[in-house]
Each structure stands twice: as structure tokens, then as C-alpha cells.
Structure 1
Amino acid sequence: MGLKTYDVKHCANTVVKLTGKGLDTAWEKAVVLSDFISAWDPEPVKKIEFKALYDDDNFYFLFKVYDREVHIDKTDDTNASINESDRVELFFRSDTNLSPYYCLEIDPSPRLMDFKAYPNRNFDFNWNWPQEDITIKSDIQDRFFTVEGAISLKSLSDLKLLKNNKIETGVFRAKYNKQPDSSYEPTWISWVDPQTPTPDFHIASAFGVFNLCQD
């Protein structure tokens, strides 16, 4: 069985304007990815819409997450605080060996937790995506929040993530739910079912393929 695929449309002769709200008309051309699941939780997943586009310079992405109770840990701006917050995630791998792969975890603020990773949850938090090659904006409304971003194609190519117009990608969401004791516990949501008994996105079976379509 082949990897799950998503077609990234080419937006020629235009640059997607990022506002955090996902309002640029270029997004109307994008394919809507909405078949997200929580393989380890019987509760239905609230609606999530993901879109991606690319032009000659950048890969663009947009999450629209329907949620009236967004949880953001405001202890500080460290990775530990982001890790306790609602967030969306994109993982990119160079090959099925996951050696290495790269993780972008973004809360609705937006705060970015970016790191390089290796198999068996060997994380390098000293690594960061080059700042000049990534832009992220967000917005929170009553019924949903949006996270919008751009990543340079050059950086994807330099990291050996963009090959033959394909990017092997994991698309995820962490939803933190308030418990009776006022603590928060996550529900883990993904595009691809990793087929694991417990939640785990840091394995090869959690990835699909983004196809950068030609005009």
C-alpha cells in the first residue's frame, strides 16, 4: 500500500500574502485536506482544514482549526510552554530512515518549536529552521484559529526534503482538553493513521507525501 498523498497546487505569477487569517484569494485554488483522525480516541475530531500552495520561491501552508476552547500555556515562551499548548505540526523527512527529519510545532500565538530529530525520539533542540527561510502568522477567532506560513523552497531543497517535486510530510494537531482536576491532557490528531497502539508521530508510518503539481 502506497503512502497517502496530497496535491500542492502551483500559484503562478503571484505571491501569497500572509496575514495569519488565510484570506488571500490564492488559497481558493488550494486542495482542502480535511480527513484528520485521532486513531487512539473514540471521540469525533473537530473540523480541521489544511491547505498548501507553492510558487517559484516558497511553499505555503494554512491550518484552519475549529475550536471554541483554545488552550495556550502562557507560563513563558519556552519549548516546554509550547509543548503544553494546542498546536499544529508539520514534520518533514528526507527518507524513511528518519535520519534526520525536521519538526515544526506551532501554537496559535504563534510560537514556533522547531527542531531536528532522529529515530527513537532523539531531538536536537539546538537546531532551528533558518529564520530568513520561514514566516509564520496566526489569528484566533471565536469558532476557530488559523496558522499560516511560508517556507522557502531553497531551504527544503538544502535539507534534502524536496526531491522530484515531492515532500514527505506528517501533518498533525495536538488538542489539550481540560480535566476535572483543572489539568490538561492532549488528544493527538493526524492526517495519516500511524497504526500504533499508543500515540506516536515520530515514526515512518506517520508520514504521507505532498506532490508539488506542475501547471
Structure 2
Amino acid sequence: MKEYQVALIEKNQLTNAGILNSDLWENANCLTDFSSPWKTESFSKIEFRALWDLEFLYFNFRVFDTDIYIDRKDDSVESIGNSDRVELFFRADNTLNPYYCLEMDTAARIMDFKALPNKNFDFNWNWPKKGLELKPSKDDVSFTVEGKISIQSLNELNLIHNNIIETGVYRAKFSEIENQEYEPTWISWVDPLTETPNFHIASSFGKFKLMV
């Protein structure tokens, strides 16, 4: 399995918005080896970084893309599912029984759900209260989705074992093909080796190692 090392930082280094000071991300390893195995077209560069401080896991997606598509009909699962977004999946083990999904867009909408094998999704489930915060932003060349997840919530869901969190890291990019019809490009840190796009499979996960 691919492994990403999550550097440890000191506690209490948050901004007033509750997310990390920007210069702290220089301490993080930069993950860029994303691929879209099902398409030959190129896609915008993605930089993913993570840090932790014994209380929270912090994450930062920076995507070098300014052509962002958001389905703004409402805040439903369907609307978020038809929008550009970044995703983190977590599992206790490779049985995927269960696993937990966070799909997040630049409008700060979160599709959080519990899943079982064969795409058996429970959209009525939500990440533990106060266990997740999100802060999206944009600049002239990119968008960023930054957030923090409490270590307590990860432990409550039995997702940390020997300082390892088995994690999937993904992006969905929607591009207009014609007449306001949009088609997704599915992008993953780990190539799941499937004929068609599928993140909901054990082979799409890697490991986050919490360094101490």
C-alpha cells in the first residue's frame, strides 16, 4: 500500500478561523502523485498535505484549477455529488465493513456518509458532532479545501491502529461537454486497478502514518 507520513506539530497553532496558520503547511509532506487511470486527458495539479497535533488531523487540498463547477440547485447529496469536490475515505480494515466518506466542495458543503461493501451507502449518517471543520478558499490560480478532523472522532470510529489510518484521497472534476451537460473525471491517489472508475473498493486506499 502507498504510505503518506503525517508530520507531528505542536498544539495550539490555530488561526481565529480554527484552522492552521498557513506557514505551518511547510512542515507537511506534499503528496502530488494523483492519477486518473480511466482517462488519457491531463488534469490540473493537486497538492495534498496533512499534519496532526495529537488532538486533530489537519488536511489541505490545493487544486490548481479556477474553472470550478458547483451544482447550486440545493444542498442535497445529489447536488454535491454533481459538483467539483475533493474526498477523503477512511476504513478500519480492507473488509470495508464499514468505511466512512467525506466529500467536500468549494462552497463548504460536506457529503458525509457511512458505507458498506458494494456501495451500500447510509446518507443519514453524519460524522461525529464537532469532529470536523472545513474552510475552503480560492486565489487567482487555485482553490483550497482545508479542514481538521478530531482524533477523538477517528478513534470513536475505530480508524486509528498503531498510528496508521487507512485512507483514500480523491478528486472529482466536472467538465462541460455540451449544452450545460457535465462529465466527471475521477482522480485518485491510489490506482484501484479497476476497468471503470471506482473509489469504493479496498484497492483504492493507502496508509496515513501519524509520525511521533
Instruction: Provide structure 1 residue ranges, at least 5 long, that are not aligned to the other structure.
Output: none
Q: Residue 82 of structure 2 aligns with which residue?
A: 84
How far off its partner does 1:22 sit?
A: 7.0
Q: Which residue identity is paired with 2:84?
A: D
CA distance in 1, matches of 2:159, 2:143: 28
Q: Residue 158 of structure 2 aligns with which residue?
A: 160
CA distance in 1, matches of 2:50, 2:128: 20
Q: Residue 136 of structure 2 aligns with which residue?
A: 138
Spell out the pairing of 1:104-183 with structure 2 (5 A cutoff).
104-183=102-181
**SS of the counterpart of 1:90?**
strand
How far off its partner does 1:110 sit?
A: 1.1
How far off its partner does 1:17 sit?
A: 3.2
Preserved CA contact (<8 Å) 2:19 2:147: no
Q: Residue 17 of structure 1 aligns with which residue?
A: 15
Cα offsets for 1:155-176 (capped at 9, x unmatched): 1011010111000000000000
Cα offsets for 1:117-153 (capped at 9, x unmatched): 0000000011000231110110122321100010000
Q: Residue 54 of structure 1 aligns with which residue?
A: 52
**SS of the counterpart of 2:29?**
coil
CA distance in 1, matches of 2:46, 2:160: 25
Preserved CA contact (<8 Å) 2:19 2:148: no
Instruction: Provide structure 2 residue ranges, at least 5 long, that are not aligned to the other structure.
Output: none
Q: Residue 197 of structure 1 aligns with which residue?
A: 195
CA distance in 1, matches of 2:18, 2:33: 22
In the alignment, structure 1 residue 70 sits paired with structure 2 residue 73: no
Preserved CA contact (<8 Å) 1:38 1:190: yes
How far off its partner does 1:15 sit?
A: 2.7
CA distance in 1, matches of 2:35, 2:88: 15
How far off its partner does 1:12 sit?
A: 1.8
Preserved CA contact (<8 Å) 1:20 1:136: no
Question: Which deviates the most, 111-120 or 123-132?
Answer: 123-132
Question: Which deviates the most, 15-24 or 149-158?
Answer: 15-24
Preserved CA contact (<8 Å) 2:57 2:150: yes
The TM-score normalised by the length of structure 2 is 0.96
Q: Residue 38 of structure 2 aligns with which residue?
A: 40
**SS of the counterpart of 1:179?**
strand
Preserved CA contact (<8 Å) 1:16 1:26: no
> Cα RMSD over matched residues?
1.5
CA distance in 2, matches of 1:14, 1:134: 17
CA distance in 2, matches of 1:72, 1:140: 14
**SS of the counterpart of 2:24?**
helix
The TM-score normalised by the length of structure 1 is 0.95
Cα 1:83/1:20, change in 2 over 3 Å: farther
Q: Residue 100 of structure 1 aligns with which residue?
A: 98
Preserved CA contact (<8 Å) 1:8 1:31: yes
Cα 1:165/1:21, change in 2 over 3 Å: closer
Cα 1:20/1:197, change in 2 over 3 Å: farther
Cα 1:69/1:19, change in 2 over 3 Å: farther
Preserved CA contact (<8 Å) 2:47 2:63: yes
Q: How many pairs are equivalent?
A: 212
Cα 1:75/1:136, change in 2 over 3 Å: same
